[in-house]
């Protein structure tokens, strides 16, 4: 059993002008595909073959597994939490959890700060903790909160890719503009579904 590139539920141009079609296509078919190819190579013939991507992340110590297992998990989540026609604000139980966190505006401010201040390449996350509370953190490279020693824990229910490959064609060095536009294309119904899992 090897991993395959998941299909997107929308067209490459569907998120324009927030995320342009060329960025989406390269990101999906080149970057994500490369993580999958390298992950399949890294697990071939090992006891990780046949494990879920979550199990692989939870046990990932070696760089090849962190970079490529993380690369596959993180991008698979990222495509799902984007949509051209989502609610502009959280819904349901995740809405309540964000209210308990301090409200939607505080969430946006803290999430943006985590994404802006991630030095170099990485991700910012909204995670659900075991007690149902949400927390915000960021990880370098393709690390994610499922991994040991990620400096971040909980189950990711929303994430933003702040690698330059995610925004450079449209935003160049203006990472803060990409981050503030990102809130326009969040699939809050999907975030709610992930929160309720
Ligand atoms: Mn990426």
What pLDDT tens digit does each residue of the chain (197 aa) get? 699 999 999 999 999 999 999 999 999 999 999 999 999 999 999 999 999 999 999 999 999 999 999 999 999 999 999 999 888 999 999 999 999 999 999 999 999 999 999 999 999 999 999 999 999 999 999 999 999 999 888 999 999 999 999 999 999 999 999 999 999 999 999 999 999 99
Q: 38 near 70, Cβ under 8 Å?
A: no
Q: 69 near 49, Cβ under 8 Å?
A: no
Cα–ligand 1 centroid distance for 91 (angstroms): 26
Q: Which residues pair with 82 in a beta bridge?
A: 186
Cα–ligand 1 centroid distance for 75 (angstroms): 6
Cα–ligand 1 centroid distance for 160 (angstroms): 9
Cα–ligand 1 centroid distance for 166 (angstroms): 5
Cβ contacts of residue 185 below 8 Å, gap of 6+?
15, 18, 19, 82, 83, 84, 86
Cα–ligand 1 centroid distance for 94 (angstroms): 25
Cα–ligand 1 centroid distance for 100 (angstroms): 30
Measured in whole angstroms, the distance separating CA 91 from the mean position of its chain's CA atoms is: 19
Cα–ligand 1 centroid distance for 163 (angstroms): 6
pLDDT for the residue numbered 87: 86
Q: How far apart are CA 99 and CA 95, in angstroms?
A: 6
Q: 88: how many CB neighbours lie within 10 A of its CB? A: 10
Q: 147 near 185, Cβ under 8 Å?
A: no
Q: How far apart are CA 88 and CA 95, in angstroms?
A: 12
Cα–ligand 1 centroid distance for 87 (angstroms): 24
Q: 61: how many CB neighbours lie within 10 A of its CB? A: 9
**Of 36, 191, 5, the residue nearest 107 (C-alpha):** 191
- DSSP class of residue 186? B
Q: Which residues pair with 123 in a beta bridge?
A: 139, 161
pLDDT for the residue numbered 153: 87
Q: How far apart are CA 38 and CA 184, in angstroms?
A: 32
Alpha helices by DSSP H, listed for the chain, are 21-26, 33-43, 53-58, 63-80, 92-101, 104-116, 168-171, 175-182, 188-196
Structure tokens at 186: 């969040």
């Amino acid at each position: 059993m090897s991993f395959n590139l998941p299909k997107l539920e929308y067209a490459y141009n569907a998120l324009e002008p927030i995320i342009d079609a060329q960025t989406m296509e390269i990101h999906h078919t080149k970057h994500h595909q490369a993580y999958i190819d390298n992950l399949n190579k890294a697990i071939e013939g090992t006891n990780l073959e046949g494990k879920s991507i979550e199990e692989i992340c939870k046990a990932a110590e070696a760089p090849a597994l962190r970079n490529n297992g993380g690369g596959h998990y993180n991008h698979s989540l990222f495509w799902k939490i984007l949509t051209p026609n989502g609610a502009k604000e959280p819904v349901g139980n995740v809405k309540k959890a964000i209210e308990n966190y301090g409200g939607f505006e505080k969430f946006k401010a803290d999430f943006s700060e985590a994404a802006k201040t991630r030095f170099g390449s990485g991700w910012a996350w909204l995670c659900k903790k075991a007690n149902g509370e949400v927390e915000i953190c960021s990880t370098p490279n393709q690390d994610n909160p499922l991994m040991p020693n990620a400096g971040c824990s909980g189950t990711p229910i929303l994430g933003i890719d702040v690698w330059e490959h995610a925004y450079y064609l449209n935003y160049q060095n203006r990472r803060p503009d990409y981050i503030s536009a990102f809130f326009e294309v969040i699939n809050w119904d999907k975030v709610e579904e992930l929160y309720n899992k």
